[in-house]
Amino acid sequence: MTFNRKKMAVKNDLKIFRPVQVNGLKRLGNRFDGGYIVHGPSLADVEVLINYGVGYNVKFEKDFFKETGAPTLAFDPTLKSIRPIADKLKNGQFIPFLRHLKNYITWKFQESSLPAFHIKYVEEGLSGNDRGEYKTLLYHYNHYGLHEKKSILKIDIEGAEYEVFNDKSVYPLLSNTLQVIIEFHDLAQHMEELITIMTELSKTHALIHIHANNHANTFSFYETAIPGAIEVTFLSNKYLPNKVPSLSSYPIPGLDSPCHKLKADIPLNFF
């Protein structure tokens, strides 16, 4: 009997993944992987994009500049490192090795185009504590004077997001963050943590969009199929005086596209 009550509570917790209804969603960045959904109307108020996880792809940042004329701080310490390339070759991943090598070689040409779009590239990453080339959100907010800036915060850091958002001191930094865009990875190992993080974010921001990354498979969570990775967009509650649950089906045709263009998108019905 106790187990059944616990199971029902967990299933009810999944409601936190149901977006609220909002108008004006639009896609910036690539059609497939590298594209993210933003709230169009609030872009007019944004003063800076803070982006963690560039991954050799700056179309999102360039589209953001075209929409707003605002600058981007783009953080990624991995783009000039030879180690990931060597690891792929060592592990026999020949096609990924060639793809990464090509990106590594051409990055310097991409980097030269960034100033025209007011993109400042910083060879640092995001972490739960300051160590070497990885810094905390607080460190970067202090160093770059971001506390009073109306911002979009975009984070795609391959699983390190849990370490960042498990620190409750991060949330007060988001008071001037108009939109928060995060890709959460490895949900099968972090589901309880993720529910806690989503709940904490929902105190100041509302979930307005969700999409599964189809590079990851689904897994069973209390007999419910959950995608292994999701992309979510939160909007400041200042833009949502009334919150009504969305009745849309996800993915949304014409807005969402599969991250892996050769695989079908994952329908989301777990919430």
Rounded CA-CA distance 104/98 in Å is 10
What average pLDDT does range 127-148 have in this prediction?
97
Predicted pLDDT of residue 11? 63
Question: For residue 66, is pLDDT > 90?
Answer: yes
More confident position, 87 or 2: 87
Model confidence at 67: pLDDT above 70: yes
**Cα 268 from chain centroid?**
17
Q: Which helix (H) or strand (E) holds 193?
A: helix 187-201
User: What's the pLDDT score for residue 182?
Assistant: 98
- Return the half-sphere exposure (C-beta side, CA atoms, 13 A cut-off) of residue 138: 11
pTM (2 decimals)? 0.92
- pLDDT exceeds cutoff 70 at 85: yes
Give the model confidence (pLDDT) of 113-132 as tens digits.
Answer: 999 999 999 999 999 999 99
pLDDT of residue 5 exceeding 90? no
Q: Where are the domains of the chain?
A: 2-239
Angle between helices 83-90 and 94-113 (to 10 degrees): 160
Residue closest to 262 by CA, chosen among 79, 32, 26:
32
Is the pLDDT at 2 greater than 50? The verdict is: no
Fold of 2-239: Rossmann fold (3.40.50)
pLDDT above 80 for 7: no
Residues 176-228 pLDDT 10s:
999 999 999 999 999 999 999 999 999 999 999 999 999 999 999 888 899 99
* Residue 4 reports pLDDT greater than 80: no
Average pLDDT score over the chain: 92
